[in-house]
Amino acid sequence: MASQPKAGAVGAAGGLEDSLSDQFAAVRRQSLALCEPLQIEDFGVQPMDDASPPKWHLAHTTWFFETFILKPRLPDYRSFHPKFEYLFNSYYNGVGTPFPRPRRGFLSRPTVAEVYEYRERVDEHMQLLLAADEPAEILEHITIGLHHEQQHQELLLTDLKYNFGHNPLYPVYGGGPRLMEGATDTPRWLTYEGGITSVGAQQGFCFDNELPRHQTLLQPFQLADRLVTNADYLVFIEDGGYQRPELWLSEGWLQVEQQAWQAPLYWHQQDNDQWYEYRLDGLQPLAADLPVVHVSGHEAFAYATWANARLPTEFEWEYVAANQPIRGSFVDAGVFHPQACTALAPGQPEQLFGEVWQWTSSSYGPYPGYQPLPGTLGEYNGKFMSSQLVLRGGSCATPASHVRASYRNFFYPPDRWQFSGIRLAKDLTTDARAVARHH
């Protein structure tokens, strides 16, 4: 989010018809709604260093509004607790030294009840502020805070799934795909001539890393019309995909050896080698038609190489997605798992949005002319532009109002706990271009 487009043109929890006050209330309610199925014991568990307990997510998103909105705007505002600025700071060094991330699960106090009280106190002051005539800059910062909270709603689910998915009891959170039979035919290849095209945010809210909008050159390419399914990926496994170093990038093969990868995260073999998958509706037999999910960037690269294809660049993906409606399975549907592709319209891509975050081959870096937000909020995106890959499209854990064609998510290539999956691309050869034009 920079000089243009302006934040708040389309809000975080709805469309133009919703006031920012209504959007604020809706986003804050959604965080609590995601926690309703939890037991008190679930709130404090940190299953790995990169994940955070649900209690921390609830407090950190509240800390954001207190730190960046209430304290600067209200001179008489008193912090809920003076130590919360330290405990619930994530990575904003401009505010102070954060509490160490790997130790978030050690915090038995504050209690869950105190965190909920903290949220109520901050929400009351925020609604008073929203009722006043505030300058555009404050309203834009509030909109950033809402999208920030939506990001943490997704992280809350992914972190919770890592906790439950490594518990031998395989606890049930809820949801579950409603569509279990879908398209199983070989993916069709859609042809795009490319050329000079504009990429980046156009209107409505965006983060600063989506700007400035600029031109790029795309060579002719092909894109698969659907995501890679569990059935597709199982063939890769059965063909020795995890035993063939020639398919893997060097760092990826090192992960295979060190982590003993044999399948995507949450896949298990039981009952005479039958495959099961842990989902948030429990441990279930592997559903062949569902998109493969919880694969790393390294696994995505290896699968693409095995399939005689490649991963799309982020700009190829955006070029295709920019003219498509935003539809798919999002967290709003309450299924918490990618659904099957049930219809393949000739010549049209499916599953571009929702379902799974799609790995691209693009390194996460700044666009030409990129300018981070001024002040401490400039730490939001720019400081992470190193050694990560871009993912596109959103997932079944992403709020629908949070997704747009220009959205750039980013993770390290070994990461698997996010709802990440695979779509294939190919270079368009001279012969293939001639065939495509003929047809």
Q: Are residues 249 and 353 in the same domain?
A: yes
Amino acid found at 362: S
Q: Exposed, middle or buried, 40 (CB in 10 Å: 0-12/13-18/19+)? A: exposed
Q: pLDDT confidence of 433, banded at 50, 70, 90?
A: low
Q: How do residues 30-58 score in pLDDT, each as one tens digit? A: 999 999 999 999 999 999 999 999 999 99
Please name the residues in contact with 154: beta carbons below 8 A apart, sequence gap of 6 or more.
Answer: 331, 395, 397, 398, 399, 419
Q: Give SS3 for 427.
A: strand
The total number of structural domains in the chain stands at: 2
**Same structural domain for residues 294 and 352?**
yes
Verify that 229 and 344 share a domain, yes or no.
Answer: yes
Q: What is the pLDDT of residues 123-171, one digit of tens each?
A: 999 999 999 888 888 999 999 999 999 999 999 999 999 999 999 999 9
- Which CATH number fits the domain that encloses residue 31? 1.20.120
Distance from chain centroid for Cα 290: 18
- Per residue in 164-198, pLDDT (tens digit) is 999 999 999 999 887 555 666 788 999 999 999 99
Q: How far are the Cα atoms of 9, 129, 354, 402 from residue 15, in angstroms, in the given order?
A: 9, 21, 18, 11
Q: Is residue 198 part of a domain?
A: yes
pLDDT at 183: 61
Residue 93 pLDDT grade (very low, low, confident, very high; cuts 50, 70, 90): confident
Q: What share of the chain has pLDDT > 70, as a percent?
A: 92
Q: Pick from 131, 165, 199: which residue ends a domain?
A: 165
> Cα Rg for the chain, rounded, in angstroms?
22
| 234 and 123 within one domain | no
* Domain containing residue 369: 189-438
Q: Which residue has the tokens 């809350």?
A: 156
Is 261 found in the same domain as 132? no
Q: Per-residue pLDDT tens for 337-386?
A: 999 998 777 889 999 999 999 999 999 999 999 998 877 776 677 788 99
Helices then strands, counting H and E runs in the chain, come out as 11, 12
Q: Is residue 12 part of a domain?
A: no
Identify the CA nearest to 373 among candidates 207, 212, 214. 207
| Domain termination site, one of 165, 198, 216 | 165
For residues 242 and 355, state if they share a domain.
yes
What is the DSSP secondary structure assignment for residue 261, as one 8-state letter?
A: -
**Are 259 and 332 members of one domain?**
yes
Q: How far apart are CA 183 and CA 288, in angstroms?
A: 10
Instruction: Look at residue 113 and tell me if it is in a domain.
Output: yes
How confident is the model over 251-278, as pLDDT tens digits? Answer: 999 999 999 999 999 999 987 889 999 9
CATH number of the domain residue 243 falls in: 3.90.1580.10
Is 11 a domain residue? no
Per-residue pLDDT at 177: 80
Please check whether residues 310 and 409 belong to one and the same domain: yes
Q: Give domain status of residue 254, yes or no.
A: yes
Residues 157 and 201 placed together within one structural domain of the fold: no
Q: Which helix (H) or strand (E) holds 214?
A: strand 214-218
Q: For position 429, what pLDDT does the model report?
A: 74
> How far apart are the C-alpha atoms of 142 and 138, rounded to whole Å?
6
- Same-domain pairing of 161 and 195: no
Quick one: average pLDDT of 427-434? 66
282 occurs within a structural domain = yes
Instruction: Provide φ and ψ at 351, rounded to 5°.
Output: 60, 35
Give domain status of residue 7, yes or no: no
Q: Is the pTM above the cut of 0.85?
A: yes
